[in-house]
Structure formats: structure tokens, C-alpha cells
């Protein structure tokens, strides 16, 4: 058989499916994982489109490419790919990468605890994995510093009116709105369509009205939105629904006012939320913060120390959660396939 590309991957989920590419991709130039990510984005973006769009993917799908690390302390590197961007960091994807590395034997597992260091585009991520019987039962990672960029900012959202939001960095810039501002809207699967609509509109308005900058990652702006509110579940403190973009939003086209909801509690979104709460004096260091996703699963965060990012007061978060392997995948591209980059359609894609 002759194929243009043959890619092997391990499929995982922590609610949202997160694919980990383990083979089939050639050498990627770059002195660091960040450099490799930028090269991939500029020279082989077909890979991201191929594995995340139909027929091999769907809107709420993420992917990671294992690459050699550049830092001597790291045992592996990974490039994160989502529908419209290459994030600097992702919590759920980090948990999935660590799970795949250990449960498939790419890196040795030590029971009851395996400690390792991964290199994300954002830098070194320290991992502590609790292991039993050859399985990863929990992953805790120490994230890059998080900080609040805007607090209680009022933005004017077309068709919604005035909305009060925070903006936090947790590895991506999140615009965060309290769901209680929207009468009748609840963070439940049945309201998924309206959550995605409202969230996409808030994200676009925030992009236009709230400038952000990270001193270490020039050009990275607000790319993702989060609706949140207190949880009525005794196992959680707050509940959230993060909506990822699946295409550009045009105010002239209501069909684009949508996105894909993160089915997991969202690691970097939890870090951004914790940074905002800390900046407001509502979450001290060394207290567990149990953040529930739309499916009821929980990631547990904790702020472990203060930090500084440029002129911003920051905090260092940890996140604990779990991911499960659900399949092993070999994806191929037939040289005669008329849609070599995959495809999207307006019935489920923005």
C-alpha cells in the first residue's frame, strides 16, 4: 500500500478527546519545542488540519505531537494543536501526554509515583503521576505562572449588551464571564448550544476591546472563553464551560457565533480562573480549588507560590486530574484523496 502520510497516535480523553501522535512525523527543526511549534505552524500546518478536521477529527478535538525535548531536564517534548491555534500550554493535553508516555512504556513507569519533566512550548512542566498496576491514576503538573490581565472589565457585546468579564492567563488568555449574568443559562449539557453562542460572542468582543500582552510570548492574544459560576455539587467549588473557537467569528454572520465546548474541566482555564480569584483576594495560596467541567468531572487546582511575569504579579498553579486511553490509531492519507487537509462543514463547524 502506498500512502502520502501514515501517522500513529494514541487516543485519550478526560471528557474531551485528546490525541497524542507517537509516530509518522519526520524531523522538525528548532532549538526549542517553542521553535519547533512555530516551524510546524509555518511549514506543515496540514498535519494539524489532517488529524483534527473531518473525517479524522471533529470540532471538540485536540491533538499533541511528541517531539524530542531541547532542555536537558526534560524527558519528552510536545506540541499542542487545536482547531484554530497552537496553544503555548494546555492542562488536559498535558495530563493526556503524561498518561500516554507512561502507560505505553515510552517512558518508564515507577509505582507508586513517577516524576518526570516535559517541555511544552511554554517551557518546562513538572509532572507527578500516581501509578498503580501499570495505570496512571492521577497526574499533577506544575504550570507556568498565571496572572490576571483584566478584572471586572465591562465590554459591549453586540446582541448581548454590557457584560462584565475578567481576563486571565493560565497558559492561554481566557476571557471569563460569570454565567449568572445571563438569565436562564445554566452550565449543563442541555444548554450547550447557547453556551457556545454566548461564549463565542464574548470572546470576539473581548479580543476587540481588551488588549493583552505576555512578555514572553509576543503576539499571543485572547483566544478562548469561559463561563463560570458556583457549583451546587459538594465535590466542587466552581463550575465552568470553556468554549474553543472552531473558526473565525463574523458579526454579520450568526452562523459563526459558535464554537466547541471543552468537555473536561480545562486545566489552563482553571489556572486562569484561580489567578483571577487570587487577584480579587478570594483564593489564597495553598488551598485546593475544585473546578468542575460541564460533564461533572473535576480538576483540582492549587496556587503554590507567588511569582512575577513582567510587571504583572503572578501565581504558580498546580493542576491534578486524570485521562484515559480509549484507542490506538493509524491514520493515513491516500495520495488520491481529493481533500488532503480534511474538511469542515457549517452544520457543526463555525
CA distances from 328 to 7, 21, 64, 135, 341 (A): 11, 10, 14, 16, 21
User: Distance between CA atoms of 25 and 41, rounded to whole angstroms?
Assistant: 14
Pairing of strands 17-23, 5-13: antiparallel
Pairing of strands 222-230, 173-178: parallel
Q: How many other β-carbons are positioned within 10 Å of the β-carbon of residue 112?
A: 9
CA distances from 208 to 222, 224, 252 (A): 10, 13, 15
DSSP for 266-329 reads -HHHHHHHHHHHHHTTSS-TT--EEEE-TTS-EEEEEEEEEEEETTEEEEEEEEEE--EEEEEE
User: Has 138 been annotated as catalytic?
Assistant: no
| Contact of 321 with 267, CB cutoff 8 Å | yes
Q: One of 14, 90, 96, 320 is an active-site residue; which one?
A: 90
| Residues labelled as active-site residues | 90
Amino acid at each position: 500500500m502506498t500512502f502520502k502520510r501514515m501517522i500513529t497516535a494514541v487516543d485519550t480523553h478526560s471528557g474531551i478527546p485528546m490525541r497524542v501522535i507517537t509516530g509518522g512525523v519526520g524531523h522538525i527543526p528548532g532549538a526549542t519545542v517553542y521553535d519547533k511549534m512555530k516551524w510546524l505552524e509555518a511549514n506543515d500546518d496540514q498535519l494539524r488540519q489532517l488529524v483534527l478536521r473531518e473525517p479524522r477529527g471533529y470540532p471538540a478535538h485536540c491533538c499533541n505531537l511528541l517531539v524530542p525535548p531541547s532542555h536537558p531536564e526534560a524527558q519528552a517534548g510536545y506540541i499542542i494543536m487545536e482547531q484554530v491555534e497552537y496553544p503555548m500550554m494546555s492542562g488536559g493535553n498535558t495530563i493526556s501526554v503524561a498518561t500516554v508516555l507512561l502507560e505505553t512504556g515510552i517512558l518508564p513507569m515507577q509505582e507508586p509515583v513517577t516524576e518526570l519533566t516535559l517541555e511544552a512550548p511554554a517551557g518546562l512542566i513538572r509532572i507527578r503521576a500516581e501509578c498503580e498496576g501499570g495505570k496512571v491514576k492521577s497526574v499533577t503538573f506544575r504550570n507556568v505562572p498565571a496572572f490576571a490581565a483584566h478584572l471586572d472589565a465591562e465590554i459591549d457585546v453586540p446582541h448581548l449588551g454590557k457584560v462584565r468579564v475578567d481576563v486571565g492567563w493560565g497558559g492561554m488568555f481566557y476571557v471569563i464571564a460569570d454565567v449568572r449574568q445571563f438569565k436562564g443559562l445554566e452550565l449543563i449539557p442541555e444548554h450547550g448550544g447557547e453556551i457556545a453562542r454566548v461564549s463565542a460572542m464574548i470572546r470576539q468582543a473581548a479580543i476587540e476591546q481588551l488588549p493583552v500582552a505576555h512578555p514572553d510570548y509576543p503576539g499571543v492574544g485572547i483566544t478562548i472563553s469561559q463561563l463560570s459560576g458556583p457549583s451546587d455539587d459538594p465535590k466542587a467549588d466552581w463550575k465552568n464551560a470553556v468554549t474553543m473557537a472552531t473558526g473565525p467569528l463574523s458579526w454579520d454572520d450568526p452562523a459563526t457565533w459558535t464554537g466547541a465546548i471543552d468537555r473536561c474541566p480545562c486545566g489552563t482555564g482553571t489556572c486562569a480562573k484561580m489567578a483571577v480569584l487570587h487577584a480579587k483576594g478570594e483564593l489564597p495560596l495553598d488551598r485546593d480549588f475544585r473546578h468542575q467541567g460541564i460533564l461533572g468531572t473535576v480538576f483540582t487546582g492549587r496556587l503554590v507560590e507567588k511569582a512575577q511575569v513582567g510587571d504583572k504579579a503572578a501565581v504558580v498553579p498546580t493542576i491534578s486530574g486524570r485521562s484515559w486511553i480509549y484507542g490506538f490509531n493509524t491514520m493515513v492519507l491516500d495520495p488520491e484523496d481529493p481533500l488532503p487537509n480534511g474538511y469542515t462543514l457549517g452544520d457543526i463547524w463555525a
